[in-house]
Protein backbone atom coordinates (compact mmCIF):
# COMPACT_ATOMS: atom_id res chain seq x y z
CA UNK A 1 0.00 0.00 0.00
CA UNK A 2 1.47 3.38 -0.90
CA UNK A 3 1.50 6.42 1.36
CA UNK A 4 -0.79 8.52 -0.76
CA UNK A 5 -3.52 5.90 -0.54
CA UNK A 6 -3.02 5.60 3.16
CA UNK A 7 -3.23 9.31 3.84
CA UNK A 8 -6.24 9.66 1.56
CA UNK A 9 -7.94 6.89 3.40
CA UNK A 10 -7.37 8.40 6.82
CA UNK A 11 -8.63 11.73 5.49
CA UNK A 12 -11.81 10.02 4.31
CA UNK A 13 -12.17 8.34 7.67
CA UNK A 14 -11.86 11.64 9.50
CA UNK A 15 -14.57 13.15 7.33
CA UNK A 16 -16.90 10.24 7.96
CA UNK A 17 -16.30 10.29 11.72
CA UNK A 18 -16.86 14.02 12.07
CA UNK A 19 -20.08 13.77 10.07
CA UNK A 20 -21.29 11.02 12.41
CA UNK A 21 -20.53 13.13 15.46
CA UNK A 22 -22.37 16.08 13.96
CA UNK A 23 -25.59 14.14 13.49
CA UNK A 24 -25.35 12.69 17.01
CA UNK A 25 -24.95 16.13 18.51
CA UNK A 26 -27.88 17.49 16.54
CA UNK A 27 -30.24 14.70 17.60
CA UNK A 28 -29.10 14.74 21.23
CA UNK A 29 -29.44 18.45 21.71
CA UNK A 30 -32.93 18.45 20.20
CA UNK A 31 -34.12 15.55 22.38
CA UNK A 32 -32.53 17.16 25.41
CA UNK A 33 -34.25 20.43 24.62
CA UNK A 34 -37.58 18.60 24.60
CA UNK A 35 -36.92 17.54 28.17
CA UNK A 36 -36.00 13.88 27.72
CA UNK A 37 -33.08 12.62 29.75
CA UNK A 38 -30.73 10.05 28.31
CA UNK A 39 -27.23 8.64 28.44
CA UNK A 40 -24.87 8.40 25.52
CA UNK A 41 -22.56 5.64 24.31
CA UNK A 42 -23.42 3.28 27.14
CA UNK A 43 -20.49 0.90 27.07
CA UNK A 44 -22.14 -1.89 29.05
CA UNK A 45 -24.86 -2.37 26.42
CA UNK A 46 -24.30 -4.45 23.28
CA UNK A 47 -23.25 -2.28 20.36
CA UNK A 48 -22.66 0.87 22.45
CA UNK A 49 -25.92 2.59 21.45
CA UNK A 50 -25.56 6.28 20.61
CA UNK A 51 -28.45 7.35 22.81
CA UNK A 52 -29.94 5.37 25.69
CA UNK A 53 -33.12 6.16 27.58
CA UNK A 54 -32.73 3.85 30.58
CA UNK A 55 -36.08 4.58 32.18
CA UNK A 56 -37.94 3.91 28.91
CA UNK A 57 -35.80 0.95 27.91
CA UNK A 58 -35.23 2.53 24.51
CA UNK A 59 -31.94 2.72 22.62
CA UNK A 60 -31.15 4.73 19.50
CA UNK A 61 -28.47 3.97 16.96
CA UNK A 62 -27.48 6.52 14.37
CA UNK A 63 -26.21 4.46 11.47
CA UNK A 64 -23.71 6.02 9.15
CA UNK A 65 -24.62 5.44 5.48
CA UNK A 66 -21.05 4.37 4.87
CA UNK A 67 -20.38 2.05 7.81
CA UNK A 68 -23.76 0.36 7.70
CA UNK A 69 -23.97 0.08 3.92
CA UNK A 70 -27.10 2.09 3.39
CA UNK A 71 -28.77 0.84 0.21
CA UNK A 72 -28.77 4.37 -1.27
CA UNK A 73 -25.38 5.87 -0.45
CA UNK A 74 -23.05 3.20 0.78
CA UNK A 75 -20.53 3.70 -2.07
CA UNK A 76 -17.81 1.26 -1.25
CA UNK A 77 -14.49 2.99 -1.99
CA UNK A 78 -13.27 2.08 -5.46
CA UNK A 79 -9.77 1.37 -4.26
CA UNK A 80 -9.05 -1.57 -2.01
CA UNK A 81 -12.49 -3.11 -2.22
CA UNK A 82 -11.11 -6.37 -0.90
CA UNK A 83 -10.20 -4.48 2.27
CA UNK A 84 -13.47 -2.61 2.67
CA UNK A 85 -16.06 -5.12 1.63
CA UNK A 86 -15.51 -7.79 4.34
CA UNK A 87 -15.11 -5.03 6.93
CA UNK A 88 -18.45 -3.44 6.05
CA UNK A 89 -20.25 -6.77 5.78
CA UNK A 90 -18.96 -7.71 9.23
CA UNK A 91 -20.19 -4.41 10.57
CA UNK A 92 -23.65 -5.05 9.18
CA UNK A 93 -23.76 -8.52 10.67
CA UNK A 94 -22.59 -7.22 14.01
CA UNK A 95 -25.47 -4.74 14.00
CA UNK A 96 -27.94 -7.57 13.50
CA UNK A 97 -26.48 -9.51 16.44
CA UNK A 98 -26.59 -6.40 18.58
CA UNK A 99 -30.28 -5.91 17.74
CA UNK A 100 -31.02 -9.47 18.74
CA UNK A 101 -29.16 -9.21 22.06
CA UNK A 102 -30.81 -5.95 22.98
CA UNK A 103 -34.26 -7.23 22.07
CA UNK A 104 -33.68 -10.27 24.27
CA UNK A 105 -32.82 -7.93 27.13
CA UNK A 106 -36.11 -6.14 26.60
CA UNK A 107 -34.89 -2.99 24.85
CA UNK A 108 -36.77 -1.24 22.10
CA UNK A 109 -34.41 -0.35 19.28
CA UNK A 110 -34.53 2.61 16.94
CA UNK A 111 -32.06 2.74 14.08
CA UNK A 112 -31.87 5.93 12.10
CA UNK A 113 -29.89 6.32 8.92
CA UNK A 114 -27.53 9.21 8.55
CA UNK A 115 -29.50 10.31 5.45
CA UNK A 116 -32.76 10.28 7.43
CA UNK A 117 -31.24 12.52 10.06
CA UNK A 118 -29.93 14.80 7.34
CA UNK A 119 -33.05 14.95 5.18
CA UNK A 120 -35.90 14.25 7.59
CA UNK A 121 -34.69 15.49 10.92
CA UNK A 122 -38.16 16.19 12.33
CA UNK A 123 -39.38 12.76 11.36
CA UNK A 124 -36.43 11.18 13.20
CA UNK A 125 -37.22 13.16 16.31
CA UNK A 126 -40.89 12.18 16.03
CA UNK A 127 -39.96 8.52 15.74
CA UNK A 128 -37.87 8.71 18.91
CA UNK A 129 -40.53 10.59 20.85
CA UNK A 130 -43.38 8.34 19.76
CA UNK A 131 -41.38 5.26 20.78
CA UNK A 132 -40.69 6.81 24.17
CA UNK A 133 -44.39 7.43 24.64
CA UNK A 134 -45.47 3.88 23.76
Residues 86-125 that bind Zn ion (CB under 5 A): 113, 115
In terms of CB distance, is 68 or 132 closer to Zn ion? 68
Among 11, 17, 32, 73, binds Zn ion (CB under 5 A): 73
Beta carbon of residue 112, minimum distance to Zn ion (angstroms, whole number)? 10
Question: What is the per-residue burial (b if ≥16 Cβ within 10 Å, else e) of 115-129?
Answer: ebbeeeeeebbebbe
From the list 131, 110, 119, the residue with the least C-alpha distance to 26 is: 119
Q: Does 65 bind Zn ion (CB under 5 A)?
A: yes
Among 3, 35, 72, 122, binds Zn ion (CB under 5 A): 72
50-70 b/e with 16+ CB inside 10 Å = b?
Answer: bbbbeebebbbbbbbbbbbbb
Reduced to 3 states (helix: H, G, I; strand: E, B; else coil), residue 58 is strand
Smaller CB distance to Zn ion: residue 62 or 132? 62
Residues at the site binding Zn ion, with contacts judged by CB under 5 A: 65, 70, 72-73, 113, 115
Amino acid sequence: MDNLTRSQRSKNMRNIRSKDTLMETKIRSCIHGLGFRFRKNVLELPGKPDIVFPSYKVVVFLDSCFWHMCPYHHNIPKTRRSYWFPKLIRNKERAKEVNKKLKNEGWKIIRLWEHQVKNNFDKCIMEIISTLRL
